[in-house]
Structure 1
Amino acid sequence: MPFSDGARSGHHPGVRSAYEHVVRRNPDEPEFQQAVLEVLDSLSPALSRHSEYADQRILERLCEPERQVIFRVPWRDDQGNVHVNRGFRVEFNSALGPYKGGLRFHPSVNLGVIKFLGFEQIFKNALTGMSIGGGKGGSDFDPKGRSDNEIERFCQSFMTELHRHLGEHTDVPAGDIGVGGREIGYLFGQYRRLANRWEAGVITGKGLEWGGSRVRTEATGYGNVLFTQRMLERSGRSLDGRRVVVSGSGNVAIYSVEKAQQLGATVVACSDSGGYVVDEKGIDLDLLKQIKEVERARISEYAERRGDARYVEGGNVWDVPCDVALPSATQNELDAASARTLVRNGVLAVAEGANMPTTPEAVQVLREAGVLFAPGKAANAGGVATSVLEMRQNARRTSWSFEHAEAELAEVMTGIHDRCEEAAERYGAPGDYVLGANVAGFERVAGAMLAQGLI
């Protein structure tokens, strides 16, 4: 994977050296290499201005996790058969605070995927302005088609090993793909049994009746749309009246649809792994929630129940013309060909609801076309920010109203946007949210690492 051409083609030698070092040490981890390249590609201006970052080999230290934990997860299915999955927790960087990042249960999970997610989390968490480090975890377990009892047994086995590495001042996981409220409940319950204490701040995304925060469910999707709105406003535009396409139909997608509709947009399409639906009148949010959150059914059911909607099996949701695109499904879902289609159809802004859903080639297409582009480490940071707000409520043994929690989220997202914008302008690249996010996050973490010695 080469560095980008154009304005940042003159890379600081420390950047190339650090990337080559990562490739040598992690040869079979393409997702991790891609995530590292995407960040390093922006950092030459910062290294040129702050030679101490290069002298102290900050980049190489940043790209090497502080700790990587891999463990087996044996569990028994409803027929009595024994299965063995692999569990991971990568505690990447704690310069700013305890490791913080979600758990993903999906067949695609491997060490490289978790490292890519954990690396992204360092900068995402730094951009929030809060005192949290970066980490990520998960398993190659597939919850699809499994009974509640099977998922409970798996979660208990997973936490039996993982609990020894956690703590509200050490490492605080949350949910991600395949890990929702049900799984968080089973994981937290097992942690309590093993730790013999009510340590609510050790895991976030909990139910409202036992330590959870209002707006946590909505936070990633809401935050992505709030960032998009702020980005459009700074260019003299708005979401109101815009035509929006959202990929995916999970938690992030659903609440991106909800907040976009609240701000006056018309969301006309969403998708799942089987295909996508188009509803020109605007997605019926109640129906979408019923199908996806309650019934856990396929998106094709939406078109069957909504007469004016159409379903395209196996199609590409980015073929649907829109003003704003919100990729909210999974990594590398929006490629260069799709980006060119979006540009031809007049897209104004793309904001990543998922982690690294846009390929490097697609990002280049969008930026060269003058499309506003918000990287996931900035745009989808609302989820982890609200997790920290949940920890804050846990520490005080209190609970906020929905309105208060949403106002806190809005303030955090405005702060993230403005940090990205300010950093981009300071380094002579106004409107470049990729550079702004990477440099702003990097400077905060690198400064903390330098202050704390050789860590």
Structure 2
Amino acid sequence: MPEAVETVFASVVKRNPGEPEFHQAVREVLESIGPALARHPEYAHARIIERICEPERQVIFRVPWEDDHGRVRVNRGFRVEFNSALGPFKGGADFDPKGRSDRKEERRARLDDYVRHVPHAVAVSGRTVWEVPCDLALPCATQNEIGGAEAAALVAGGCVAVVEGANMPTTPEAVRILGRAGARFAPGKAANAGGVAVSALEMQQNASRDSWTFAQSEQRLRETMRDIHARCWATGEEYGLPGDYVAGANINGFRRVAEAMLAHGLV
């Protein structure tokens, strides 16, 4: 990263101690947008990066839940809302306390039942699912579930593409290993944008007091995802990084937000 960007990242770490996942997400973006910053010095003058890395607001709320002994407990939750330059905040909160009630888990189908009823599903034990030979890998659970070892196993198993279906499930080391092996990598901010896109479509229907058929919504979603792919590809080529979906997604997304923030002024 350029020295000026490294300074910004150091300040982010200092202002947000004990948040390694946040630091990782910030660094991953900052490492990609150097070409855009070099082409647009007005972003640095307006301190766009510093403003993007500081949330607009934070909401604190209570989370009541019941443990395995029937006792009601209360935890504190946080919703951190970073930027509304392009529209309303989207997203939710995950809560996974120790000692939580197993009632929800008891209502879920057992893994073997799932495997028995879903064609081609296979239960994996004694190793990670990423060690199973495949053409395409879709990490759709938690952050950093594919690290260097898992990426190497995927490459050895013949995987040609990893498409994220969760928030940051692939570590930077894993992304580099996949890249060196020639495997395509689609970052979650682009490949996993369908959920947010559908929420926007629902808001559009509510605002117009309209109700679309499933086919209509599916068609709009397909158009949105194709447009996202085209933007990522075109941006990568524009900045001399053809086929780099990470750079394409980060630079395109950053430019859209930066331009909106410049238009809004100091807000």
- The superposition leaves residues 85-107 of structure 1 with CA deviations (integer Å, 9 ceiling, x where unpaired) of 11111111111122112232323
Quick one: which amino acid aligns to residue 241 of structure 2?
A
Note the aligned Cα RMSD (angstroms). Answer: 2.5
How far, CA to CA, are the matches of 1:77 and 1:30 in structure 2? 29
Residues 260-339 of structure 1 aligned to structure 2 (within 5 Å): 296-303=108-115, 311-339=123-151
2:124 aligned counterpart, secondary structure: strand
How far, CA to CA, are the matches of 1:297 and 1:303 in structure 2? 10
List gaps (5 residues or longer) in structure 2. Answer: none
Residues 1:46 and 2:3 aligned together: no
How far, CA to CA, are the matches of 1:72 and 1:295 in structure 2? 25
Residues 1:104 and 2:90 aligned together: no
- Aligned counterpart, 1:29: 19
Q: Which one of 196, 200, 215 corresponds to residue 384 of structure 1?
A: 196
Residues 1:446 and 2:258 aligned together: yes
TM-score w.r.t. length of structure 2:
0.92
- Aligned counterpart, 2:76: 86
Q: For residue 305 of structure 1, report the CA deviation from its aligned partner.
A: 6.8
Classify 1:298/1:34 alpha carbon distance in 2 versus 1 (closer, same or farther; 3 Å): farther
Q: Tell me the number of residue pairs that the alignment of Structure 1 and Structure 2 aligns.
A: 267
Residues 1:427 and 2:222 aligned together: no
How far, CA to CA, are the matches of 1:365 and 1:324 in structure 2? 15
- Aligned counterpart, 1:241: none
Q: For residue 70 of structure 1, report the CA deviation from its aligned partner.
A: 2.3
Conserved 8 A contact 2:68-2:102 = no
- Aligned counterpart, 2:184: 372
More displaced 10-residue stretch of structure 1: 391-400 or 34-43: 391-400
Quick one: which amino acid aligns to residue 173 of structure 2?
E
- Aligned counterpart, 1:145: 102
How far, CA to CA, are the matches of 2:120 and 2:3 in structure 1? 57
- Aligned counterpart, 1:63: 53
Classify 1:411/1:370 alpha carbon distance in 2 versus 1 (closer, same or farther; 3 Å): same
| Identity between Structure 1 and Structure 2 (%) | 61
Conserved 8 A contact 1:15-1:43 = no
Classify 1:29/1:399 alpha carbon distance in 2 versus 1 (closer, same or farther; 3 Å): same
Residues 1:72 and 2:62 aligned together: yes
Conserved 8 A contact 2:142-2:169 = yes
TM-score w.r.t. length of structure 1:
0.55
Classify 1:59/1:81 alpha carbon distance in 2 versus 1 (closer, same or farther; 3 Å): same
Classify 1:443/1:82 alpha carbon distance in 2 versus 1 (closer, same or farther; 3 Å): same
Residues 1:407 and 2:219 aligned together: yes
Conserved 8 A contact 2:56-2:82 = yes
Conserved 8 A contact 1:331-1:355 = yes
- The superposition leaves residues 244-273 of structure 1 with CA deviations (integer Å, 9 ceiling, x where unpaired) of xxxxxxxxxxxxxxxxxxxxxxxxxxxxxx
Conserved 8 A contact 2:236-2:248 = yes
Q: For residue 41 of structure 1, report the CA deviation from its aligned partner.
A: 0.7
- Aligned counterpart, 1:198: none
